[in-house]
Chains A and B, each alone.
Chain A
Amino acid sequence: MKVLVMVKQVPDTATKIQIRGDGHGIVEDGIKWVINPYDEFAIEEALRIREKMGGETVIVTLGPKRVDEAVRQALAMGADRAVVVESEETLDPSQVAHALAKVAHDEGFDLILMGKQAVDDDAAQVGPMLAARLGLPQVTVVIHLDVDESQKRLRAERELEGATEIVELPFPAIVTAQRGLNEPRYPTLPNIMKAKKKEVKRIPLGSLGVDDTPRIRVMNLIPPPERPAPTILTGDPEETAKKLVQLLHDQAKVI
């Protein structure tokens, strides 16, 4: 099984987000960049597939220079090699999907694993767009995956609201990972050393011929509305519970 894993580097989830002066982006100084948490599940699943069935795990990422750090970490988890699409520009999900589709097409693959969404813009679009672009079936938000290599079929459990569903499909296909799929491993010291020697192929975005007009534009970023000053109750549990119920009933009128 040759598995491609699409990995995006995003601000650490503990980051306090500050809006840039022009209102079109965020202040990037001082941000700690990490692998998108959902992509870690995708990497882990690819490694487990390789351990079971053999083959190759290839990391594909698109972004500026800083993504080298994410690539190193993915290789230290155990991926075999990486392809980096070098891009300084801000692309929209469809443009990212087009670039990744070109790379995937040139690489060849049995399966593509990715995250269910990137925790920065939370678009949750690149997976299904890539699938449509490549003319392949997809299954998203996956919490359990069975690969039947001989029949070339997948059986995936995906999470819905208050339910899960089983989806069956042939591969090659696109699968997006949800928390619960597995527990991602930590890189071990020997693997961190080995990662330094692994192949990283670099492709300038310009050479892929991706359409350069985005379809979606951010006009303005605004901070979320401020919350009003809180009413804090202290003291006897009985009294405070009574007072709270009164406030929720009479003031907020919600119970």
Chain B
Amino acid sequence: MSSGVLVIFDQNQGQVRHVVLEILTVARNLALGSVTALTFGTDASKTLNMLGEYGADQVLFWEQDPFTRYSSDGFADAIASVVPELDPAVILFPASAWGKDLSPRLAELLNAGLATDCLSLRTNEENRVIATRPMYAGKVLAEVQIDTPIQMFSIRPNINAAVPSPTTPVVLDIAPVISEDSFKAVVTERREVQSGVQELTEADIIVSGGRGIKAAENFKLLDQLAEVLGAAVGSSRPVADDGWVPHSYHIGQTGKVVSPTVYFAIGISGAIQHLAGISGSKYIVAINNDPEAPIFKVANYGIVGDLFQVVPRLTEEIRSLKAKN
């Protein structure tokens, strides 16, 4: 009888993304048995303390070649080869670029159903998992259930809390079968595009600008506000299309879907495709000189006014508030 939860994720120099701690918490809360963590590559074992802090019962590190360089086909085949021995009821992945690349491939190899980008998981009376996930870019939420013996889910970052629950994990020694035909697609290089800048999908506060900003150089107003807030900077699509900011800034149905605590929409009208990407924000703050702008319909707080007047004053106010505290 399958039991327990297998959590699969990537790590970098012994560091994991915050979503991994969130997923370990989700895994424990399912109360379906032991929680096993599996990660890869150089320094994988340096994550041990962190995994123990967040309640992993067992850990599995594949540190050596060929696991030092990510390969979707290689990793999927290797993981599939040890799943029968681990025999988990549930497999969880982060809904990151990495997790979304690997999890469907693994699901197909395991003949398992997979639900992508889940917001929350719970168990029903039969100990099956019910997941809530957005569809149509968050215009609808779906409750979904998976009918295969192994149930797979990828979990969206920044939605679930990460709650410590210290354990002393057992380090498992299970070697995968590595087939000669695998490891065809291999990562050969990594390029940081936003070094030092927070990733939007994981940011707690986002300052985002639209066409109301008028010109690329005016984005410095937002950079200054973001700096005092410790926030990440994003944008609407046309602004990224026009090259005022990199494509990676673009938020919305066809860009990044974000779920920060606070989202500042500055000079953004609030088109349906933009709103789809920000509906997971806890607080939306809109600054727009058009009182009829649709963004005000979804905002918690709004200022009707000229952003060129308001934003610098806002930055100053926050700076002096922070200086006081």
Interface residues of A (CB under 8 A from B): 11, 13-17, 19, 26, 37-38, 92-94, 97, 119-129, 131-133, 135, 137-141, 143, 157-170, 173, 179-180, 213-224, 227-228, 230-235, 237-238, 240-242, 244-245, 247-249, 252, 254-255
Contacts and interface: CB of A to CB of B under 8 A. Distances in A.
A120 B133 CA distance: 12
A162 B303 contact: no
A218 B144 contact: yes
Contact of A160 (B97, B186, B285): B97
B136 A129 contact: no
A249 B112 contact: no
A179 B113 contact: no
Interface string B285-325: 11000010000111111111110011001101110010000
Given A14-B272, A140-B100, A228-B300, A97 B185 contact: no
A244 B303 contact: yes
A26 B136 contact: yes
Interface residues of B, number: 98
Contact of A221 (B102, B140, B148, B313): B140
A169 B273 contact: no
B254 interface: yes
A99 to B, nearest CB: 13
A245 B142 contact: no
A132 B105 contact: yes
Interface centre among A97, A129, A227, A230 (most CB of B within 10 A): A230
A17 B113 contact: no
B186 A167 contact: yes
A216 B145 contact: yes
B63 interface: no
Interface stretch (B26-34, B49-57, B197-205, B213-221): B197-205
Contacts of B255: 179
A37 B202 CA distance: 25
Interface stretch (B84-92, B169-177, B188-196): B188-196
B115 A216 contact: yes
B209 to A, nearest CB: 17
B301 A128 contact: no
14 contacts: A14-B271, A129-B104, A129-B105, A139-B185, A140-B100, A160-B96, A173-B184, A215-B148, A217-B144, A224-B279, A230-B286, A230-B298, A230-B300, A244-B317
A222 B185 contact: no
Nearest to A23: B143
Contact of B302 (A173, A220, A231): A231
Which 3 A/B pairs are nearest by Cβ-Cβ distance? A215-B113, A169-B185, A132-B108
B144 A26 contact: no
Given A124-B104, A224-B138, 15 more contacts: A16-B272, A17-B140, A37-B254, A128-B101, A132-B109, A138-B101, A138-B105, A162-B198, A166-B187, A179-B254, A216-B114, A221-B140, A230-B302, A234-B304, A248-B283
Given A241-B313, A255-B318, A17 B139 contact: yes
A89 to B, nearest CB: 16
A115 to B, nearest CB: 11
B199 A162 contact: yes
B310 A240 contact: yes
A220 B143 contact: yes
B22 interface: no
A83 to B, nearest CB: 22
Contact of A222 (B143, B195, B276, B284): B143
A109 to B, nearest CB: 16
B193 A162 contact: yes
Contacts of A128: 72, 101-105, 108
Given A124-B104, A216-B114, A240-B305, A13 B254 contact: yes
A120 B135 contact: yes
A230 B301 contact: yes
Contact of B301 (A93, A162, A231): A231
